[in-house]
């Protein structure tokens, strides 16, 4: 009953967004985007777009979003926003992280990306411009994917913290008690597969165009790099998302190892009271500031 109710709510939300989308004026950037998209379709095969296009999108987006956090360590005026100021980034840690990322991206994630074309063919997912959903619907679909992925992540992430299996898999991700953006996908290969599976569930539920694959991977990378950045930046547009966890919430997880298991949202932690240690810590920090 609860699953059906959630599905009905999501379906109603999508219908509402589709209606809003239908009455919105045309985006002024639509024509250049249309020209670029059609050029891609005319010059590359579906396999090339789904495979190499997805890999390029992932790599460009990942390291582009990591760049600001990487530069922050060289900017003294940004240090006031660093959450764990007593644990600066080191070249040794960043180089170690980078090498692990290359292995995970090309030896674990690339074989999965190679299946994208066959996924789109099996489910008859279109590539053409005319079938592409406009941005309000894409945003709504990304939000739906985030809700599903966050649920998967909470329960599997919490399971990976069980004392009997923690040291074999998830301990790798916790090598850095003070996270930085590039560390977002620094993980044991098995963890990449286990937690990464949640990414694909939303795609299987909502995907009606290949553009959603790229929109969702962009949103997910932006979110996970932000929460791992180690910096709590004011005026962060992601904080407009209801119940968004943010960097300070996840940073405490790396510092404390227990609690705050959600990836994007805080509601599962609130529901199961796994944010209690974080809330107590925040209360103590607020009292120190007032003294």
Residue-wise pLDDT tens digits, 70-113:
999 999 999 999 999 889 888 999 999 999 999 999 999 999 99
Residues, the chain: 291
pLDDT of residue 2: 44
Tell me the three state secondary structure of residue 124.
coil
Q: Confidence band (pLDDT; 50, 70, 90) for 3?
A: very low
pLDDT of residue 27: 60
The CB density around residue 228, as the number of other CB atoms within 10 Å, is: 24
Q: Output 283 or 12, whichever has higher pLDDT.
A: 283
Q: Is the pLDDT of residue 212 over 90?
A: yes
Query: CA nearest 248: which of 281, 287, 199, 284?
Result: 281
How far the first Cα of the chain sits from its last, in Å, is: 50
Give the pLDDT confidence score for residue 86 in this predicted structure: 87
Q: What is the chain's alpha carbon radius of gyration, rounded to the nearest angstrom? A: 20
The pLDDT score that the predictor gives to residue 32 is 86
The model's pLDDT over 32-71, given as tens digits with 9 standing for 90+, comes to 889 999 999 999 999 999 999 999 999 999 999 999 999 9
What average pLDDT does the structure give for the chain?
A: 89
Q: Give the phi and the psi of residue 178 in degrees, each rounded to 5.
A: -120, 100
Higher pLDDT, 134 or 250: 250
Q: What pLDDT score does 15 carry?
A: 56
- pLDDT at site 16: 55
Query: Residue 101 has what pLDDT?
Result: 93
Q: Is pLDDT larger for residue 21 or for residue 185?
A: 185
| Ramachandran category for residue 171: left, alpha or beta (phi over 0 → left; psi -120 to 50 → alpha) | alpha
Q: Tell me: the pLDDT tens digits for 136-149?
A: 899 999 999 999 99
Q: What is the mean pLDDT of residues 5-22?
A: 53
Helices (H) and strands (E) in the chain, counts: 13, 0
Query: Phi and psi (nearest 5°) for 82?
Result: -70, 135
Q: Can you give the pLDDT at residue 288? A: 79
- Given this model, what pLDDT does residue 289 score? 76
Q: Which of 223, 206, 267, 225 is nearest to 242 (CA)?
A: 267
Give the residue from 110, 74, 72 showing the smallest Cα distance to 232.
Answer: 72
Identify which has the larger pLDDT, 288 or 237.
237
Per-residue pLDDT, 83: 93
Range of lowest pLDDT (109-118, 157-166, 282-291): 282-291
pTM value? 0.86
Please say if the pLDDT value at position 7 is more than 60. Answer: no
Are the C-beta atoms of residues 81 and 241 closer than 8 Å to each other? no
Distance CA 121, CA 128 (A): 13
């Amino acid at each position: 009953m609860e699953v059906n109710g959630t599905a009905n709510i999501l379906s109603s939300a999508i219908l509402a967004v589709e209606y809003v989308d239908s009455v919105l004026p045309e985006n002024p950037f639509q024509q250049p985007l249309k020209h670029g998209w059609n050029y891609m379709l005319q010059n590359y095969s579906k396999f090339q777009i789904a495979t190499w296009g997805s890999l390029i999108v992932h790599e460009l987006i990942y390291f582009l979003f990591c760049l600001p956090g990487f530069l922050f360590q060289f900017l003294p005026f940004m240090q006031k926003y660093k959450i764990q100021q007593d644990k600066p980034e080191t070249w040794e840690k960043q180089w170690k992280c980078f090498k692990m990322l290359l292995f995970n991206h090309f030896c674990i994630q690339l074989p999965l990306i190679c299946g994208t074309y066959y996924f789109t063919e099996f489910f008859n997912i279109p590539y053409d411009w005319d079938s592409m959903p406009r941005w309000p619907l894409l945003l709504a679909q990304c939000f739906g994917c985030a809700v599903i992925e966050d649920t998967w992540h909470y329960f599997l992430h919490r399971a990976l913290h069980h004392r009997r299996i923690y040291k074999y898999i998830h301990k790798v991700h916790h090598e850095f008690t003070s996270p930085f953006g590039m560390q977002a996908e620094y993980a044991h290969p098995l963890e990449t597969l286990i937690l990464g599976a949640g990414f694909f569930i939303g795609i299987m539920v909502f995907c009606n165009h290949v553009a959603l694959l790229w929109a969702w991977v962009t949103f997910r990378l932006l979110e996970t790099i932000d929460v791992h950045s180690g910096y709590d930046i004011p005026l962060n547009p992601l904080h407009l998302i209801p119940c968004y966890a943010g960097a300070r919430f996840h940073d405490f997880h790396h510092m404390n190892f227990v609690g705050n298991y959600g990836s994007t949202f805080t509601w599962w932690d609130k529901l199961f009271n796994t944010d209690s240690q974080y809330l107590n810590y925040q209360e103590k920090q607020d009292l120190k500031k007032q003294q």
